[in-house]
Amino acid sequence: MKTTMKNDDKEMSEIFSKLAASENLTQQEAQAAASKIFTALTNKEPNNLALLTAFFGALTIKKPYVEELIGTAKAMEETKTVSFHFKVDKPVVTAGGTGGDTLHTINITTPAIITAAAAGAYTAKSGSKSFSSKTGCIDVAEALGVNVHLSPNEVEKCVETIGTGIWASEGIYPWMHPLIELGSTSPTSQLLPLLYSLRLVIATALNPFSLKRQVRGVSEPFTELVAEVLGECGYERAFVVLGYGKTEKTRIDEFSTLGRNVVTELKINGDTETFDVYPEDIGVKKGKISEIVAKESHQNNAKAITQVLAGKDTSSRRDIILLNASSILTLSDVCQDLRDGYELAKQAIEDGRAFTKLKQLVQLTSGKQNNLNRLI
C-alpha cells in the first residue's frame, strides 16, 4: 500500500512538473491525474481542493489540449454509476453550457429542450443547482414545479412517454456533490469559477445519459477543440457554439440573438466544420440585452420562462429560447436547418404545445403543481 502511494505521488509530481513547464500531458497522464482527483473528491480527502486547483489551475493557464480532455473524459466516464437506455425511435439530444458567461442570462437551455420536445424532438437535460449563474438548471426546474430527483427508470419513462426529462444528475458521479459543496464555501466559491479548464472538462465529458448528440455552449473560443473531443468520446453529432453580443467582450455559452455565433458542427461522418451564424440568417431580429438578463431570484427566472412557454412573452427572451430549441431540433433530425427549426419551435409555443409539455413534465414527475400554478 505504501509503495502504491509513493508511486502515485511520484506520478502526480511528474505530471505537475510537465504542466509547470507548459508541456501537454498524454491522454494516459491526464486520465491518471483526473482519476486521482475524482477519488480524492469522492472520499473527501484533505488534499482534494489542493489537487483540484493545482491541476485545473495549471491546465487553465497552459490551455487544455485535446488529449488531456479525452483522458479526463475517460476518467470521468469510469466513475459513472448508472447507464441509461431510452427506447425511442429518434436520437435523444441534450444541451448545456460551460458557464463563465460575461453576461448572466436567464436559463435558456431548460425551456429550449421543453420547446424542442413539444415540436417533435426527444430531449433530456441534466444539471445541478447554480454553480456560477444566478439560476442553474435544477434551480429553475424546481421553481417550475418539476420533480428533478427521479430514479433512472423514471427518467427513462419521462423521455419515452412525453419526449423529455430533466434530472438532477449529480448522484450519478460520486465526486460531483462534494465538488458542489466545495464550490459553495468561501473563498472557494470565488476560486473555482476562475478554473475555466474545469468547466470545459466537465462540460465536455459529462454525459450521464450516455447520449450521442448534444448542443454544447462554451464561453471561451474553444468550439473546435470541444467538438474534436466530443467526436473522440463517441458523439455522432453536435453543435459547439460560442455566442457573442455586439462585440466580443460579451460572450454567452448558448446560441445568441445579440450578435455573431461561432459554431463548430460535428457531423455524422466524424468531420467538423466551423462557421458563423447571425440572428438575421435565421430570420430572427437582434435581441436586447435588457430582455435576456437573469432575474434576481429562481422564482422570477422561472416566471419569465413560464411567460415565454405560455405564449405571453414575445420579447428577445422568446427569440433566444427558440433559436436554441432550433439547434436541438436540427440535431434531432426533425428538421434540416436552424431556420426551419426556429419556425417549428415558434409554432410549438404559439399553438400551446410548449406550455402543455411543461405541464405534462410536472405531472409525470409527480412534481409540485402549485409551483406552476403560482407562476401562471
Question: 298-350, pLDDT tens digit by residue?
Answer: 999 999 999 999 999 999 999 999 999 999 999 999 999 999 999 999 999 99
291 - beta bridge partners? none
What is residue 293's DSSP assignment?
A: B
Question: 143-180, pLDDT tens digit by residue?
Answer: 999 999 999 999 999 999 999 999 998 889 999 989 98
141 domain residue, yes or no: yes
The predicted pLDDT at position 361 comes to 98
Question: 16-31, pLDDT tens digit by residue?
Answer: 999 999 999 999 999 9
Q: Name the 3-class secondary structure at 335.
A: coil
Last residue of one domain, picked from the residues 78, 102, 118? 78
Question: 352-367, pLDDT tens digit by residue?
Answer: 999 999 999 999 999 9
Check whether residue 22 and residue 114 sit in a common domain.
Answer: no
Check whether residue 144 and residue 26 sit in a common domain.
Answer: no
180 domain residue, yes or no: no
Distance between CA 47 and CA 301 in Å, rounded?
37
184 domain residue, yes or no: no
Check if the beta carbon of residue 367 is closer than 8 Å to that of residue 146.
yes
CATH code, domain carrying 52: 1.20.970.10
Question: 171-210, pLDDT tens digit by residue?
Answer: 899 999 899 888 888 777 778 878 899 988 888 888 999 9
Q: Name the 3-class secondary structure at 321.
A: helix
Q: Name the 3-class secondary structure at 25.
A: coil
CATH code, domain carrying 115: 3.40.1030.10
Strand-strand pairing, 261-266 and 272-277: antiparallel
Check whether residue 258 and residue 130 sit in a common domain.
Answer: yes
Distances (CA, A) of 271 to 73, 201, 229, 239: 20, 21, 12, 12
**The C-alpha cell that represents 124 in the structure block:** 433530456
161 domain residue, yes or no: yes
Q: How many CB atoms lie within 10 A of CB 236?
A: 16
**The C-alpha cell that represents 186 in the structure block:** 468561501
With cut-offs at 50, 70 and 90, classify the pLDDT of residue 73.
very high
376 domain residue, yes or no: no
Check if the beta carbon of residue 313 is closer than 8 Å to that of residue 307.
yes
Distance between CA 75 and CA 82 in Å, rounded?
15
219 domain residue, yes or no: yes
Mean pLDDT over 55-71 rounds to: 95
What percentage of the chain carries pLDDT values higher than 90? 82
130 domain residue, yes or no: yes
Q: How many CB atoms lie within 10 A of CB 149?
A: 12
Check whether residue 165 and residue 37 sit in a common domain.
Answer: no
The predicted pLDDT at position 4 comes to 46
Cα angle at 366 between 364 and 367, to 5 degrees? Answer: 110
Last residue of one domain, picked from the residues 23, 53, 78? 78
Task: Name the domain count of the chain.
Answer: 2
261 domain residue, yes or no: yes
Check whether residue 21 and residue 165 sit in a common domain.
Answer: no
Structural domain containing residue 70: 2-78
Check whether residue 273 and residue 357 sit in a common domain.
Answer: yes
Check whether residue 158 and residue 238 sit in a common domain.
Answer: yes
Check whether residue 216 and residue 265 sit in a common domain.
Answer: yes
Distance between CA 58 and CA 136 in Å, rounded?
27
Check whether residue 64 and residue 97 sit in a common domain.
Answer: no
263 - beta bridge partners? 241, 275
Distance between CA 178 and CA 43 in Å, rounded?
9
Check whether residue 145 and residue 241 sit in a common domain.
Answer: yes
Cα angle at 320 between 212 and 363, to 5 degrees? Answer: 65
Check whether residue 132 and residue 238 sit in a common domain.
Answer: yes
242 - beta bridge partners? 262
Task: For residue 238, give the nearest of 208, 209, 202, 274 by alpha carbon.
Answer: 274
Check if the beta carbon of residue 57 is closer than 8 Å to that of residue 98.
no
Last residue of one domain, picked from the residues 50, 78, 106? 78
Distance between CA 110 and CA 95 in Å, rounded?
8
Check whether residue 54 and residue 162 sit in a common domain.
Answer: no
Check if the beta carbon of residue 148 is closer than 8 Å to that of residue 142.
yes
